[in-house]
Amino acid sequence: MWQSYLNGLLVAFGLIMAIGTQNAFVLAQSLRREHHLPVAVLCVVCDALLVAAGVFGLATVLAQNPMLLAVARWGGAVFLLWYGAKALLRACSKQSLQQGEGQGLRSRRAVLLSALAVTLLNPHVYLDTVLLIGSLGAQQTVPGAYVAGAASASLLWFFTLALGAAWLAPWLARPGTWRLLDLMVAVMMFAVAAQLIMT
């Protein structure tokens, strides 16, 4: 059981730590201190459900149905281009990610819907979390322990990212830093969208 748990923990950590659209979104929300803890919870829950779905059969269904992956691919590309354009506009304006004097916080619902879109409209989440992590988990002696290990990695990572970035926010509260972060988010979104369109 512990071997399966450790396998899930290590495999998930290896994939989750690569800077991707979900990590960039959590980082941006945390630096803004805009509903960053609910966003972290949502990311952990989504990861755990997707890994469990992959381990217990969805990986096989996706591998056999390229149409589902194509829908996710194009929907994800459109969303990422839109989100990247918004970040680029912020980076080029005076209202870059700064903690919003005069810009009220978005509602928790709006932020969580954006987080859900960043998570579920990104086809990489299905390739990495469902297909790769899921198919490896299906081969474990205790698949449930593997899912728990992967969920633990997600919990540790997203809460470290959310709390750490929020803690650093006061030291990073310079307009140039926020513009650079927005630019980084835009480049990340455009790069992933381009990768999706060209594959």
Q: What is the DSSP string of 119-133?
A: HHS-HHIIIIIIIII
pLDDT of 126 reads 76
pLDDT of 19 reads 58
pLDDT of 100 reads 45
Spell out the domain ranges in the chain: 2-198
Largest CA distance in the chain: 55
Output DSSP code: residue 184.
H
Nearest alpha carbon to residue 36 among 169, 199, 189, 192: 169
Residues in the chain: 199
pLDDT of 102 reads 42
Q: Are 158 and 48 in contact (CB under 8 A)?
A: no
Query: Which residues of the chain are under the pLDDT cut of 50?
Result: 97-102
pLDDT of 158 reads 93
pLDDT of 69 reads 67
In this prediction the pTM is 0.71
Q: Cα–Cα distance between 5 and 139 in angstroms, integer?
A: 13
Q: Cα–Cα distance between 19 and 21 in angstroms, integer?
A: 7
pLDDT of 42 reads 96
